[in-house]
Amino acid sequence: MSFKWVRGELIGTGACSRVYLALNATTGEMFAAKQLTVVGEIDSRQIQAAYAVKAENETLDHPNLVQFIGFEETDLSEHVSFMEYVPGGSIAGIILKHGKIGEESTKSFASQILTGLGCLHSKGIDLRADNILVEMTGVCKISHFGISKRLNGANSDQGGARASWLVPEILRNEGQDPKSDIWSVGCVVLEMWAGSRATSNVEIATMFEPPVPDGVVLTPLADGFRNKCFAINPEERPTAAELRSHPYLAQTVMDPQGHRDTPIGT
C-alpha cells in the first residue's frame, strides 16, 4: 500500500488471523486491518489464499459487503488486508448483548444478507452470525468471505464449526456450494429469533433441519421461510434472489400498540 497507517486495538481474532482497528495517518480514516501471520506447514496455502482473496475482493463493490481497501505484505511472514471498519459489531455480538432481535430487524437483516449473497453466490462462503457486521444505521455487511474456504478446504467446517452450522451435504462429504449458504442464512435467522447462539448436536445425529428453538412461535410465513432454507436436498433450496422475494420478508410486524416492531429486541 502507498499510505502510512497506524495499528490500534485488537478487535477480533480468527484461526489464523487477528483484526485490528487502524488509522490512515494521512487522512485520519479508520479502517480494519486483518493480519494473517504465516507459520508452520501451511505457509504456502495461507499466502495463496490471501492473494486469491485480494484479487476477488478488489472486484466487489456492494453496500452489503465489507469493502476491501487494500493489501500489504510487510515481510515474508505477515500479510495484512485493509477492510472497511464497521463500528456496530456483528449480529452474533448483538445477540449476545441484547438477546432476541426484533422481528422487523430480523427481516431487514435477512433481506440484506441475501442481497449481499446475491453478489457473492458464484463464490460460496463461510456465512455465520460472527461474520455479518451491522452499521449503526442498521445496514448489514458480510465480512470474511472467501478466505476460510481457501485456507481449510471446502469440507473444513467439520473440524471447528458448531454442529448446527453443518449443512447436510457437508456431513455427507458432498462438498459445499452456494446453496449451502442458504442453509446458513436459515441458521442466522434462527439465532435472531431465539436470541441465543445455536449449540444443538441434533443436526449431526439426524442430518435433519435444525429444530425451532424453545420459546419461539413462528407465523406460517416465517415457518415457510425456515423450511425453504432447510431443504435437505440443496437443489430444492432457493437462490438468494428467490429467497429474498419470500412473503415473510415483505410482511410488516406491529407490536401490541400498533407500532412497527422495535429495531433490536429485549
pTM of the predicted structure, to 2 decimals: 0.80
Interval 208-242: pLDDT, tens: 678 888 889 999 999 999 999 999 999 999 999 99
**75: annotated active-site residue:** no
250 CB contacts (<8 Å, ≥6 apart)? none
Distance CA 199, CA 213 (A): 11
Distance CA 144, CA 40 (A): 22
Contact 59, 96 (CB under 8 A): no
Going by C-alpha positions, the residue among 177, 165, 181, 48 that lies closest to residue 114 is: 181
Q: Strand 132-134 to strand 78-84: parallel, antiparallel, or no bridges (unpaired)?
A: unpaired
How many helices, marked H, and strands, marked E, lie in the chain?
A: 11, 7
Contact 166, 205 (CB under 8 A): no
Question: Model confidence at 131, in pLDDT bands (50, 70, 90)?
Answer: confident
pLDDT on residue 148: 47
Greater confidence, 228 or 146? 228
State the CB neighbour count (10 A cutoff) for residue 103. Answer: 22
* Catalytic site residue from 126, 181, 214, 223: 126
Going by C-alpha positions, the residue among 93, 75, 85 that lies closest to residue 28 is: 85
HSE on the CB side for 184, CA within 13 Å? 28
Greater confidence, 127 or 24? 24
pLDDT on residue 160: 41
Question: Model confidence at 256, in pLDDT bands (50, 70, 90)?
Answer: very low
| pLDDT (mean) for 5-31 | 90
Work out the percent of the chain whose per-residue pLDDT is above 90: 42
Greater confidence, 207 or 211? 211
pLDDT on residue 36: 77
Distance from the Cα of residue 37 to its chain's centroid: 22
Distance CA 109, CA 130 (A): 13
Q: What would the grid cell of residue 121 be?
A: 453466490
CA dihedral of 92, 96, 99, 102, whole degrees rounded to 10: -30
Interval 52-77: pLDDT, tens: 666 666 667 889 999 888 888 766 56
Q: What would the grid cell of residue 69 be?
A: 481497501
| pLDDT (mean) for 109-113 | 96
